[in-house]
Structure 1
Amino acid sequence: MAAAVCRTCGRLRYELVPAAVSFGMTCLGWVHHAVGMDVAAYAGYGLGLAATGALTWGGLKFKSSVATSLGVASAGTVVNTAIGAITGPSVPSLIAGGVVTIASYAVFVPWLVKTRHERINLQIKAAKTKPLPDSMGVNVAEPGIVGDTEEETALRRALWALGTPAVDVTRLVFTDTGWHAVVTLPPGKNTSAQAVIAKRTQLQANLDLPGKLRLAEGAQGNQLYVRMQTTDALAEPIPWPGVRVSSIEQPIPIGIYPDGREILVDLLSGHVLVAGGTNMGKSGATNVLMANLVACEDVDLAGIDMKPGALELGPWADNMVALADDPETARQVLVWLKSKMVERGKYLSTLRGPNGERVRKWTREHGKYIVLVIDELAELLRQAPDVVTELLTLMQVSRAMGIRIVAATQSPSEQAFGGKGTDARQQYGTRIGLPVNEPTPINMIFGTGAYGQGWRLDWLDAPGKVMVSSERYTEPEEGRCYWISDEQIRLTSLKFLPAGALLPPHLAPPAPPEPDPDPDPTPPRGPGGGRPVLHVVPTYPDGSRIESNRLPLWQALEKAGQEGLTKPEAVRRGICNHHTSIAPWLSQWVGAGWVEESSKRDRAVVYVLTAAQHTPVPEAPAFSKENVSCPASS
């Protein structure tokens, strides 16, 4: 217990360590007094006092300051604890604890001042002297290289051994997944942040701390951002929670960050690029976008899939107004889309605003948006190089006419972005980067210098892990895309079949045949042939049915009442395996006004159903075969 208290104080405020130890041992003595003292206990305290006294005497005799200091501190601690055990919570015990605490600070404060002076002198020396050779290792570091915490000390010594001593280390910040800090480096080319990033593997070996080391350039030229990830909340795939939007003007959630925040894509801010290596989750991210887009009532979808048979976008064929899987039909789709762009531009030119100004931007009031999804962009431009002009024109001009392009490629190259003389990357308002095996494609995806700024897609260690760059996300941050199954794709496609098509019949997909209406089934009779046995289907306050995978969390919130429920409590009760899996559901319910964040308990947010939603969900009767689901109003 004392060790745990010391570690906590050392990481938060190390100045509290002597007081924490003294108070902790006093309380320990009181506990011993409460359980009872016997002859063995008195003998134990006496033996401890004799041992610490002997250590103090030996330190004085052999002139060992370390042994003497340790002996005096141990003797004071034993006396303090013994008095607390003998007298319990009393004035003598409090006096003993106070004396020990004051004596501890009488020794601790001078040591603290001396240590800080050593650190300042070391920082001045590090800025003036040349770095030590790499081969000398960590063990030759000067004793004065210490930090406020074990992690800071290890970081300072690792940088010194690397040949790049730290001028300053901003106070470390500890999170649920690890810790991070900002290091100020000495000026010079060989001690720059880029030079340290290039030696990341050696720096992690020098640190000798658990976790994955992540480095990036700081806000200033000589600053290095260091992040150590000790636990990975995104190690396992995260199931797609279902459709969350009904309009393209709403941000589309495609994944989640380690702290539970959803990764949102704003299609209105520009075109979208999805790029990554083979089998690294590019198709999954594209399908999550598609699953939300087909549910948007103000969107018409078109697709180009250069895999023969449209293997990636084929499951969504019935939801699209057109789907091309070869160069010729792809060319027709682009020509048609360009004609729609011209038509819409002329239409907007005839409109005027409330003050007579020209309308210059397409909104849902003018009609549906059009989204073109291209899978294997590089293959399209390879097989049909003549469509580059049409595609670039669409990307540069069509945004104002309500047309968006989502392009996915696993081969980001100059040709994929338009070839020489052009740079179509500037037209992508959102760039979704998935794992790659080499650093070269990173600058192709995110722009020049992205590799050194921390957009390290080569550090993403699992398919589906992602970094997103957009107006909403300007700093590199590792997340994970939702995983959507083939069955979810099939059911979502069937649920949101479109009412019509925009293209001529020879390009539009055939309309699905109308199913024959089935007669209403005869409701089953109850036991003994009486009235039908019905049970209430659990629903949200808006009348929609609660999904089966979310029902345990909703029922737990109802049962908790005004006391509420936190994410860690949901994990302990077996409702979920990790708090990130329920974070999107809670965020959705908070946004809908069904759940509110009332307070905090154990530093975790407490979620409580709003006052109008405290009616428990009825449990189903015991006889399952005779039961039949019906709306809650029945």
Structure 2
Amino acid sequence: MELAMRAYSRRHRRMLRNRNAAPLMLVADGNGFADVLAALGRLLYRYRSELAPLTTVLVLAMAGELLHTEHPQWWPYVAGAAVVLAGVVGATGAPFRAEQRSERVYATAAVFAAGGWLSAAAKLGPSRDPLPTLLGLAVLAGGLPWWTHRRRRMRVTVDRTIQAWPDIAEQVGLAGSRVLSAVVDVWGWRARIALRGGQTVADVVAHVPAIESGLGTRPGAVRVEPDPAHAGRATIRVLATDPHAEAIRWTGPSVRSITQPITLGVFEDATPVRVSFLRRHALIGGIAGSGKSGILNVIVANLAACADVVLWGIDLKGGMELRPWLSCMDRLATTPAEATQLQRDAVGILEARAKAMGEDAARVWNPSPQHPALIIITDEYAELAENAPLAADAADSVARRGRALAVTELAATQRPTQKAMGNGALRAQMDIRIGLRVRERRDTDLILGQGMLAAGWHAHTLDAPGKFLISAEGLDHPRRARGFLVTDEDVATEAARWAPIRPPLDDLSAAAVGTARDAEADGSGEVLEGEIVDGSVDPESVLWAALREAPDEGVTIPELIMTTGMQRTWIYLRLQQHARNGRAVQVSRGRWRAADPHRESPAA
């Protein structure tokens, strides 16, 4: 037993020595048959995609000969299987990954033709006329589209890039990274890469020019996106052609309510850019000619179709940009004085809504056609901050308090520095940031937020009007997009189309605007809750008596003000309370009466 164990130990040591020794190499003669076969095999494998039609013909001929010799009675089953497979390919594109309609048609025709020829060959024999001639014609008819198809050639490029990636990664400064998967899409291809330990997406972003050089692409063709599930992985997208080289025509509003996300344009992967403007302030920035007006038109065109939002506009360039939408806007300010009054009225609406919601224990203002949201759109906000500082202060107040009350600010400017934004907190309150082309790299951080440039948000590389980067909820990775093109004819058509459905301010907000103006006219500068003219008279009782005695068409708000001696805000607050409790009804806009005139008192 001991001798056997010693012998086993010696054999084991010899095996280890042989395994660690240099492998035995057989050097073949350069003119040898094995060398020629190896070179031919490598050549066939390298060009396997180009040779696919010829390989298919060869396989069909061999299969037809085998079936005809061994199982000629199987030809009906072959034909039936071909019909079924052709139907599956036409419906789903599987298993050939045919995504586009043209690809499915091609694949379906190829499967149907191959199945028909194979079933005929199984019954008659592959050499029976005219089967060889038909097979040759099929090679030409099917081979030409195959050889010239862009996506096939792109897949070949991707396969070869994956094989060469270790060398490319070494050259561009990402040594140790590897390709996990790659797929060809509509505009090019994309690959998921795993980075070496210690490398991050920021390293990949910093090496984008080198990656473009290593892959041999055009400048600006490579995009880098982080993997949300793994910090050590990233997605590299290579665009063979620029999907946004041409303008994208606008096809109409994408929403009918402010509660729905608006489609602003299309990302480079053909997915839509959707963002909600409800309770979110927005900032649009970019140099002159970058497309700010175009993005504003897309937003306004969608909001104009919403019956639950009131639009106010400020355009201190004489209304050049926003005046075409005047029929859809409740108010448009074109002078500093008008802008100041508009923003002050917005603050008054804030206070009135906040008070009413506090009494109802409500937390948010839910927009509806009867109680619409309010969006204030300001073109060239820097002009407002410079020429109407009081308006900028009021806008700052709206930005801080307006979200829950559905009163929001949307500002467009060329360069949103702190001075240009009025030295307030407005810029910090902007939830939606849309960055168009900028001239200086540092302006990216001004528009999109501090640190965005270093994180790969390169607004300075955008090269056409309407191209933008957007940072918003759910859109926290740098993805290039292009906004829809809304022409002047589109603006005129949509403004006329939606003007009849534009809602007015709700009564509470309208009363707040009137009260604010009355207070300013009196020189008090503040909104008063209400003031009793005669201390011996209870205004609650007077109001209820007026509602009970109102005719069927109701009593107007001015009449109630004169009867009770109270301000508009007080009147509207009490009317809303009576309406919620079922004691009063609104007959028409601005006219009210008691729901039950026979009720002696509100508590009865």
State if a TM-score over 0.5 links the two structures: yes
Q: Give the distance between the partners of 2:466 and 2:194, measured in 1 at CA.
A: 34
Q: Is the 8 A contact 2:183 2:191 kept in 1?
A: yes
Provide the secondary structure at the position in 1 that maps to 2:256: coil
Q: Distance in 2 between matches of 1:339 and 1:79?
A: 78
Q: Equivalents in 2 of 1:194, 1:488: separation in Å?
A: 42
- Tell me the residue number matched to 2:321: 312
Counterparts of residues 400-549 of structure 1 (less than 5 Å): 400-419=404-423, 423-497=425-499, 498=502, 502=510
Per the alignment, do residues 66 and 207 of structure 1 end up closer, same or farther by CA in structure 2, a change over 3 Å counting?
farther
Deviation, 1:402, is 2.0
Q: 2:281 aligns with which of 241, 266, 271?
A: 271
SS in 2 for 1:415: coil
Q: Does 1:342 align with 2:351?
A: yes
Per-residue deviation, 1:67? 3.0
Q: Kindly state the Cα deviation for residue 165 of structure 1 after the two structures are TM-superposed.
A: 0.9
Q: Distance in 2 between matches of 1:83 and 1:417?
A: 71
* Closer, same or farther: CA 260–232 of 1 in aligned 2, 3 Å: same
CA distance in 1 between counterparts of 2:365 and 2:41 reads 80
The answer (yes or no) to whether the contact 2:205–2:456 under 8 Å persists in 1 is no
Q: Pick the aligned partner of 1:364 from 363, 367, 383.
A: 367
Rate the CA distance shift 1:91–1:442 in 2: closer, same or farther, 3 A.
same
Assess, with a 3 A threshold, how the Cα gap between structure 1 residues 201 and 82 changes in structure 2: closer, same or farther: closer
Summarize the Cα distance change of 1:244–1:337 in structure 2 as closer, same or farther, 3 Å threshold: same
Structure 1 Cα separation of the partners of residues 42 and 239 of structure 2? 37
Q: What amino acid is aligned across from residue 445 of structure 1 in structure 2? A: I
Q: Tell me which of 238, 261, 268 is aligned to 1:251.
A: 261
Change over 3 Å in CA distance of 1:438–1:155 after alignment to 2: farther
Aligned pairs for 1:81-480 within 5 A = 89-90=65-66, 149-187=159-197, 193-209=201-217, 212-219=221-228, 222-307=232-317, 309-351=318-360, 358-364=361-367, 367-419=371-423, 423-480=425-482
In 1, the alpha carbon distance for the partners of 2:262 and 2:492 equals 20
Distance 1:93 1:148, change over 3 A: farther
> CA 1:374 to 1:154, structure 2 compared with 1: closer, same or farther past 3 Å?
farther
Percent of aligned positions that are identical: 28
Structure 2 counterpart SS, 1:370 = strand
Deviation at 1:338, TM superposition (A): 0.4
Whether the 8 Å contact between 2:279 and 2:406 is mirrored in structure 1 is no
In the alignment, the residues of structure 2 paired with residue 217 and residue 92 of structure 1 have an alpha-carbon distance, to the nearest angstrom, of 55
Question: Counterpart of 1:289 in 2: which secondary structure?
Answer: helix
Q: Aligned partner of 1:473: which letter?
A: L
Structure 1 residue 218: Cα displacement: 4.9
Distance 2:383 2:56 in 1: 78
Match of 2:492, as an amino acid?
R
- The aligned amino acid for 1:361 is V
Partner Cα distance (2:55, 2:486) in 1:
64
1:380 deviation in Å?
1.7
Deviation at 1:305, TM superposition (A): 1.2
Query: How much has 1:363 moved relative to structure 2?
Result: 1.4
Q: TM-score, normalised by structure 1?
A: 0.54
| Counterparts of 1:163 and 1:382, CA distance in 2 | 48
> By how many angstroms is 1:372 displaced?
0.4
TM-score when normalising by structure 2: 0.57
Aligned equivalents of 2:313, 2:387: Cα separation in 1: 16
- CA, structure 1 residues 84+74, in 2 after alignment: closer, same or farther (shift >3 Å)? farther
Aligned with 2:241: secondary structure? coil
The 1:475–1:348 alpha-carbon spacing in structure 2 relative to 1, beyond 3 Å, is: same
Give the letter for the 1:413 counterpart. T
Structure 2 distance, partners of 1:350, 1:87, is 83
Name whichever of 326-335 and 441-450 sits farther off: 441-450
What amino acid is aligned across from residue 213 of structure 2 in structure 1? A
SS at match of 1:492: helix
C-alpha separation in 2, matches of 1:505 and 1:423: 27
Distance 1:81 1:400 in 2: 68
1:359 partner letter = A
Aligned to 2:121: none
The answer on whether the counterparts of 1:299 and 1:368 sit within 8 Å (CA) in structure 2 is yes
Distance 2:61 2:412 in 1: 71
Cα drift, residue 349 of structure 1 = 1.9
Query: Cα deviations across residues 140-191 of structure 1 (Å, max 9, x unaligned)?
Result: xxxxxxx982122444323211333133322123211222223344456xx6
Letter in 1 for 2:402: S
Give the letter aligned to residue 67 of structure 1. Answer: V
Is 1:59–1:67's contact at 8 Å kept on the other side of the alignment? no
CA distance 1:80–1:159, shift in 2 (3 Å):
closer
Give the conservation status (yes or no) of the 8 Å contact 1:277–1:435.
yes
Q: What is the deviation of 1:207?
A: 1.7
- In 1, Cα distance between equivalents of 2:69 and 2:166: 42
Deviations 1:461-514 (A, max 9, x none): 32112232222423332222111111121122223334767566999xxxxxxx
Q: Which amino acid aligns with 1:164?
A: L
Distance 1:454 1:229 in 2: 17
Structure 1 counterpart of 2:388, which letter? Answer: A
SS at 1:279's partner residue? coil
Residues 302 and 372 in structure 1, CA contact (< 8 A), matched pair in contact too: yes
Letter in 2 for 1:70: A
Work out the CA distance in 2 between the residues paired with 1:399 and 1:466.
Answer: 25
What SS does the corresponding residue of 1:215 show, helix, strand or coil? strand
1:363 maps to a residue whose letter is N
**Pair 485,84 (structure 1): closer, same or farther in 2 beyond 3 Å:** closer
In the TM superposition, residue 302 of structure 1 has moved relative to its aligned partner by 0.9
Tell me the distance in 2 between the aligned counterparts of 1:277 and 1:210. Answer: 25
